[in-house]
Amino acid sequence: MSGQGPKQAVTRKSGVALWRQIADQIRQAVSAGTLGADGRLPPEMVLSERFGVNRHTLRSAIAALVQEGVLRAEQGRGTFVESRQKLSYPISARTRFSTGLRSQTRDRRSILLAHAVEQASQRVAEGLGLAEGAPVVRLETLSEADERPVSRATSWFDAERFPGYAEAYAETGSITLGFQSYGIEDYFRKSTLVSARHADAADLADLKLSAGAIVLVAVAVNVDTQGLPIQYAETRFVADRVELSVSTEAQ
């Protein structure tokens, strides 16, 4: 609501500092194009009056967004929009990370942060259709687009069926290609549970976010052509940079 004059609402003594509430609102408005549509933000004095706070408080908000890479401030000139676009990540039966984003971004890559073989927790076992405590391969991966972290995923695979999957992934740099080295040419997304929460400390560090940031959490099960679960994954997307697109047309 409102692109120009009306005062924006901020709540005092709510446990969230004013500068953070304002930063969240500006980030959202910039992303939606209702602020800085011409690439330039109104002067600090104008914005501070619009939010009904002191100029210094507003400057704290801008400083946070500059830190995040959303804005860029230039002394004597003004404050400018550095990056606006939201990536749209499709969720369908043929969901694959790389293909979905290929057209929207220039540079994109996945990084394997860590991997281990462990015993399946109840949750993971249920997702993969294994017994609780069965050996599973766990992968911790980070995905970036245009040099900026976009998502952080934890995936589990049946260690009996995919021993050394981590190596296959490290070599190929792709989940899809990793499966191919086990003879799986095709697979499907069976289900996805989507929720949202504040990023926890680990997410903040890996995704280079500041506290209070939001992550979209997608818990997914991929199955092979027989319908057998082959991957259970929990992906945390940076909510400010990503939206999930669910297509439910006849398939």
Binding site for DNA (CB under 7 A): 12-15, 17-19, 41, 43-45, 52-57, 59-60, 62, 73-79
Judge contact between 60 and 19, C-beta under 8 A: yes
Identify the sign of the CA torsion 160, 186, 173, 110: negative
Query: How near is the Cβ of 225 to DNA at its closest, in Å?
Result: 52
| Closest listed residue to residue 190, CA positions, set 89, 98, 94 | 94
| Closest listed residue to residue 26, CA positions, set 74, 86, 71, 77 | 71
Judge contact between 33 and 84, C-beta under 8 A: yes
Q: Pick what 189 binds: DNA, a second copy, none; C-beta below 5 to 8 Å, kind-dependent.
A: a second copy
Binding segment (CB under 8 A) for a second copy, from list 69-77, 145-153, 169-177, 200-208: 200-208
If one asks whether residue 53 binds a second copy (CB under 8 A), the answer comes out as no
If one asks whether residue 153 binds a second copy (CB under 8 A), the answer comes out as no
Q: Pick what 24 binds: a second copy, DNA, none; C-beta below 5 to 8 Å, kind-dependent.
A: a second copy
SS3 of residue 194 by DSSP: strand
If one asks whether residue 64 binds a second copy (CB under 8 A), the answer comes out as yes
Give whichever of 9 and 228 is closer to a second copy, judged by the CB atom.
Answer: 9
Burial class (CB in 10 A: 0-12, 13-18, 19+), 238: buried
Question: CA separation (Å) from 134 to 47, 95, 120, 127, 182?
Answer: 56, 27, 5, 12, 20
Q: Which residue has the tokens 């946070």?
A: 64
Binding segment (CB under 8 A) for a second copy, from list 67-75, 88-96, 131-139, 174-182: 88-96
Give the span between the Cα atoms of 144 and 207, in whole angstroms.
9
Judge contact between 1 and 46, C-beta under 8 A: no
Give whichever of 23 and 218 is closer to DNA, judged by the CB atom.
Answer: 23
Give whichever of 108 and 190 is closer to a second copy, judged by the CB atom.
Answer: 190
Give the span between the Cα atoms of 242 and 248, in whole angstroms.
19
If one asks whether residue 200 binds a second copy (CB under 8 A), the answer comes out as yes
Q: Pick what 62 binds: DNA, a second copy, none; C-beta below 5 to 8 Å, kind-dependent.
A: DNA
Binding segment (CB under 8 A) for a second copy, from list 44-52, 72-80, 173-181, 237-245: 237-245
Give the span between the Cα atoms of 197 and 87, in whole angstroms.
19
Structure tokens at 35: 């602020």
Query: How near is the Cβ of 102 to DNA at its closest, in Å?
Result: 36
Q: Which of 4, 14, 75, 226 binds a second copy (CB under 8 A)?
A: 14
If one asks whether residue 65 binds a second copy (CB under 8 A), the answer comes out as no
Sites of contact with a second copy (CB under 8 A):
1, 9-11, 14-17, 19-21, 23-25, 28, 60, 64, 86, 88, 91-93, 95, 188-198, 200-202, 204, 210-212, 214-216, 239-240, 242-251
